[in-house]
């Protein structure tokens, strides 16, 4: 069954004809900008999800040392 699907996919991919369509420079630049925007938003979402827990972990690791320093009287 997978062999049949693979052969059918190969036939459909090799039998494709050109679209005979023109994409102007403005449309092409807009399409590139959209692709970069989607990829950038995915990376920013991953960064945002990972950044805050790491920031909180580092702050909590540093907090006890800051609390000890606050108890030392100034001379």
| Entry pTM | 0.49
Higher pLDDT: 68 or 56? It is 56
3-state SS class at 23: coil
List the domain boundaries for the chain: 24-75
Q: What is the mean pLDDT of the chain?
A: 84
* Continuous H helices in 1-75: 2-14, 25-71
Q: How many Å separate Cα 32 from the centre of its chain?
A: 16
In this model, does residue 75 exceed pLDDT 60? Answer: no
Between CA 41 and CA 44 the distance in angstroms is: 5
């Amino acid at each position: 069954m997978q062999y049949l699907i693979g052969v059918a996919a190969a036939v459909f991919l090799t039998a494709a004809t050109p679209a005979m369509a023109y994409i102007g420079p403005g449309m092409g630049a807009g399409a590139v900008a959209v692709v970069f925007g989607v990829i950038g938003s995915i990376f920013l979402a991953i960064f945002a999800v990972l950044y805050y827990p790491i920031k909180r972990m580092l702050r909590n690791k540093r907090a006890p040392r800051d609390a000890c320093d606050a108890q030392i009287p100034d001379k």
